Amino acid sequence: MAKVSQLMISNILLNQTDTPKFQSIAADLAQAILNGQLVAGEKLTPQRREPGATSAVSYIDMAQNVAIPTDDDGALLRAMATLSQSGAHIDEVLKYQPEAGAQRHHQIGAQWLTRFGTGGAWNRVMVTHGAQHAIAGVLRTVMRPGDTLLTESLSYPGMLALARSMRLQVIGVEMDDQGMLPDALDRAAQTFNSRTLFCSPTLHNPTGSSMSMERREAIAAVVRRRNLLPMEDAVHAAALTHPLPALCTLVPEQSFLVSSFSKVMAPGLRVGYLEASPRWLDKVAASIRADCWMVAPLMPEIATIWPETGEAEHLIGLQRNAIAERLAEAKRLLAGIDMRCAEHYPHLWLPLPQSWRAGSYAASLRQAGVLVRTMDHFAVGRAVTPHAVRIGLNKPASMEQYAAVCGPSWRY
């Protein structure tokens, strides 16, 4: 048995407390890792799980990226009541539909996407099972194994997982506080002879950064010059009251725009919308057919009722207010700490000072019962990532607890 483990166990036996020994050992092991007493490869004491035992630690999960619960289950009940009174629509949701969705469903989708400056043409929009499904449909349509995909140097993990499963080569493009840099994109497109780009110009996950109009125009100029095919992710942008026009509106014939209800209303609906020129939509529709024939129509039906009855704007308003409250609280509790945040974006981005590596900071918080995301989660390949963490504001009262564990000694 390793010396450190031996020492810890004798300490635990000496300090008889009410804490079960297995928990004391686990906690001390974690501390020893943080202190550098236990290094990778060191032999540990044998571990076993007690029959029926569950995890002893309950974590405040500030790592997840989910909408803030606004307790408005009533919206679903009201939509069900509306649906139950419309015989024709009930009938429709039980039938096969075209791959792109029923026409009235993509009409609503087209209307939804006009908030990003699109023209609202229903025949340029299809319904998907959330943004993730749209991203999968587009990648499968335009890329083949081994192809190169360009994206921000920190990018959406769901897209990275898809790219891995498709054996794509993903290249991270350098960013500044407005997102992707046009010159870096130009160089990467040329160096890697790449044609496809995935990017989030508005409220980028994880940094919360947004491109100015000038930056969008400069990126669009590179897209045209290098004949790139961009897919724009506007999932978080949906929370904004007046988002800047989507990058896609600057290159409408050679782009895809993806958005969903997930971050502003209900991720469980799995409703997303994809806009593209009709020649591309037909091809993505074939990919959806291969997946599941079509999106289950009941969900887009609810997503159609909500905007029609004004419920959608009401729910988004609740979400905006909840985010604003949490951000105000975070600014108050973490006054003096260098952190970045953006209006209507439910996360903080905390660049860490020299004294912390992101991994050890996150491990220390974890030990104190708080989970946050390091940038490794968003890393493209094995690129070096900034020493920063993303802190989600989605859990009630989580900010107080975070601030409490940060404590004065965590401030810098």
Ligand X SMILES: Cc1ncc(COP(=O)(O)O)c(C=O)c1O
Comparing CA positions, the residue from 385, 383, 389, 384 lying closest to residue 410 is 389
Q: Closest approach of Cβ 271 to ligand X, in Å? A: 8
120 binds ligand X (CB under 6 A): no
Q: Closest approach of Cβ 27 to ligand X, in Å? A: 32
**Site mask, ligand X, residues 220-239, x = CB under 6 A?**
-------------x-x----
Tell me which amino acid residue 346 is: P
CA atoms of 345 and 347, how far apart (whole Å) = 6
208 binds ligand X (CB under 6 A): no
| Single residue of 118, 196, 200, 255 touching ligand X by CB under 6 A | 200
- Taken in order 271, 274, 275, 281, is the CA torsion positive or negative? negative
Residue (243 or 267) nearer to ligand X, CB: 267
Return the range that interacts with ligand X (CB under 6 A); candidates 74-82, 126-134, 146-154, 237-245: 126-134
Residue (262 or 304) nearer to ligand X, CB: 262
Return the range that interacts with ligand X (CB under 6 A); candidates 127-135, 142-150, 320-328, 402-410: 127-135
Structure tokens at 371: 């989970």
Site for ligand X in 346-405 (CB under 6 A): none
Site for ligand X in 6-65 (CB under 6 A): 65
CA atoms of 396 and 60, how far apart (whole Å) = 10
| Residue 129 CB contacts under 8 Å (≥ 6 apart), including other chains | 270, 271, 272, 292, 295, 296, 299
Structure tokens at 5: 């483990």
Return the range that interacts with ligand X (CB under 6 A); candidates 165-173, 214-222, 259-267, 278-286: 259-267
272 binds ligand X (CB under 6 A): yes
Report the 10 Å Cβ neighbour count for 119: 11
Strand ranges for 84-216 from DSSP E: 125-128, 148-152, 169-173, 175-176, 179-180, 196-199
132 binds ligand X (CB under 6 A): yes
| Single residue of 262, 319, 394, 398 touching ligand X by CB under 6 A | 262
Residue (117 or 158) nearer to ligand X, CB: 158
> For residue 166, what is the enclosing H or E element?
none
Residue (92 or 291) nearer to ligand X, CB: 291
Residue (116 or 156) nearer to ligand X, CB: 156
Residue (194 or 200) nearer to ligand X, CB: 200
Comparing CA positions, the residue from 160, 185, 253, 246 lying closest to residue 211 is 246
Q: By three-state DSSP, how is residue 221 classified?
A: helix
Residue in the block written with tokens 């083949």: 144
CA atoms of 256 and 223, how far apart (whole Å) = 13
| Single residue of 112, 116, 156, 349 touching ligand X by CB under 6 A | 156
260 binds ligand X (CB under 6 A): yes
Q: Closest approach of Cβ 262 to ligand X, in Å? A: 3
Residue (182 or 201) nearer to ligand X, CB: 201
- Bond prior to 206 in cis (omega within 30° of 0): yes
Residue (130 or 243) nearer to ligand X, CB: 130
Q: Closest approach of Cβ 260 to ligand X, in Å? A: 3
| Single residue of 267, 300, 346, 392 touching ligand X by CB under 6 A | 267
- 153 vs 53, 100, 161, 192, 276, CA distance in Å? 41, 32, 15, 15, 25
Q: Closest approach of Cβ 253 to ligand X, in Å? A: 23
Q: By three-state DSSP, how is residue 122 classified?
A: helix
249 binds ligand X (CB under 6 A): no
Comparing CA positions, the residue from 97, 94, 115 lying closest to residue 260 is 115
Count of residues interacting with ligand X (CB under 6 A): 14
201 binds ligand X (CB under 6 A): no
Nearest residue to ligand X on Cβ basis:
130
109 binds ligand X (CB under 6 A): no
Comparing CA positions, the residue from 260, 263, 354 lying closest to residue 303 is 260
Give contact residues for ligand X (rule: CB under 6 A): 65, 130-132, 156, 158, 200, 205, 233, 235, 260, 262, 267, 272
